[in-house]
Amino acid sequence: MRFVSKLINVNLLIKLIQTLDKIGKTCVVHLTPKKVEFILTSDITDGVQVWSGVNAATLFDDYRIESKNNNEIAFELSLDNVLRGLKSGQLATDITMKLTKKQNIPYLSILIEIQQSHQMMTVLQDIPVKLLSASQLAQFQEPHLPDPEVWIMMPPLKLLRNVIDRMKNIHDYFIITANMAGELTLKVETDMVSVATFYTNLDHPQIEGRSPPRRDQDKTAEVKVDIKKFNRFLYSYQVSPTNVILCIIENTALVLHVLLEDLYLTYYIPVVLS
């Protein structure tokens, strides 16, 4: 088993790790010859799942991976540890990441070279990891859900954060309603107060390169979700997504696709049944 590579996009990886860290503190990393996947499941979160992937060539140069499992490697690690290691390398001239073993303990080692004055300083960060076998990795399965009743492009996440920050002080749960006419409503209510925000003229894009089944414009769907869980999803603005698509599967889940050219995050947020 071998993995070694030059990290060439440290800022993107930091933003991705910071985004994932809002959901859970432990993450499964799945290295494949073409892609790096990050998995947070409900076993290690509070019910929210995130499945993320990025092209290996976007993060790494001279990307070398070898294993008996079709040249794939999976391991579990602490996101906080990775974040601390990467932040120390933001001004680095060279960063090498590789799997190592010391006293029979596996590590993800980050070797950072920093130019200071007229000399080179080297910093080594060893992050403990738990290696996963092929059978252990196979236990992590992305949810297979029905097609959404409604899917719609979301407004800018930074603007939504301001709205949700106010709503979360009113109640623990809020209702998301959307239709195929481009309308989205966020509503929170108690016995004493009701607050709603409305958005119109939102698009209905393709999801993962395919169009879901056609829906009438009159089709409306709604879900009730934990507002704090939704708020943690909003931190995905840090990766500067090109598109964010909200999908409502009534009585099942709220699914959110955060899309960039070479990176994606898919959030599965459980719904509250009335």
How confident is the prediction along the chain (274 residues), in pLDDT tens digits per residue?
Answer: 999 999 999 999 999 999 999 999 999 999 999 999 999 997 656 789 999 999 999 999 999 999 999 999 999 999 999 999 898 887 888 999 999 999 999 999 999 998 877 888 899 999 999 999 999 999 999 999 999 999 999 999 999 999 999 999 999 999 999 999 999 999 999 999 999 999 999 998 866 655 556 667 778 999 999 999 999 999 999 999 999 999 999 999 999 999 999 999 999 999 998 7
Please tell me the predicted confidence (pLDDT) of residue 212.
Answer: 57
| Residue 225 forms part of a structural domain | yes
**Domain coverage including residue 125:** 2-139
| Residue 145 forms part of a structural domain | no
Q: Which residue has the tokens 């998995």?
A: 39
Query: Chain-centre distance of CA 38, in angstroms?
Result: 7
Please tell me the predicted confidence (pLDDT) of residue 209.
Answer: 56
DSSP line for 86-136: HHTTTT-SEEEEEEEEETTEEEEEEEEEEEETTEEEEEEEEEE-EEE-HHH
| Residue 144 forms part of a structural domain | no
For residues 213 and 180, state if they share a domain.
yes
For residues 196 and 125, state if they share a domain.
no
Please tell me the predicted confidence (pLDDT) of residue 151.
Answer: 94
13 Cβ partners below 8 Å, 6+ apart? 7, 59, 86
For residues 128 and 200, state if they share a domain.
no
**What whole-number distance in Å separates Cα of residue 37 and Cα of residue 45?**
17
| Residue 116 forms part of a structural domain | yes
For residues 126 and 38, state if they share a domain.
yes
Beta carbons within 10 angstroms of residue 101's beta carbon = 11
Find the CATH number of the domain harbouring 7.
3.70.10.10
For residues 30 and 130, state if they share a domain.
yes
| Residue 87 forms part of a structural domain | yes
Residue after which a domain boundary falls, among 89, 104, 139: 139
Q: In terms of residues, how long is the chain?
A: 274
Picking from 45, 63, 46, 42, the residue whose alpha carbon sits closest to that of residue 54 is 63
Residue after which a domain boundary falls, among 104, 139, 174: 139
For residues 135 and 178, state if they share a domain.
no
Residue after which a domain boundary falls, among 88, 104, 139: 139
For residues 59 and 165, state if they share a domain.
no
| Residue 103 forms part of a structural domain | yes
For residues 17 and 131, state if they share a domain.
yes
| Residue 183 forms part of a structural domain | yes
For residues 127 and 201, state if they share a domain.
no
DSSP line for 174-195: EEEEEETTS-EEEEEE-SS-EE
Which amino acid, 147?
D
For residues 11 and 115, state if they share a domain.
yes
Number of domains in the chain: 2
For residues 163 and 111, state if they share a domain.
no
For residues 10 and 134, state if they share a domain.
yes
Strands (E), the chain: 2-7, 26-31, 35-40, 49-55, 60-66, 73-78, 94-102, 105-116, 119-128, 130-132, 150-153, 173-179, 184-189, 194-199, 220-226, 243-249, 253-259, 263-270
**What whole-number distance in Å separates Cα of residue 245 and Cα of residue 247?**
7
Sheet of strand 119-128, all strands in order from the earlier edge strand to the far edge: 60-66, 2-7, 94-102, 105-116, 119-128
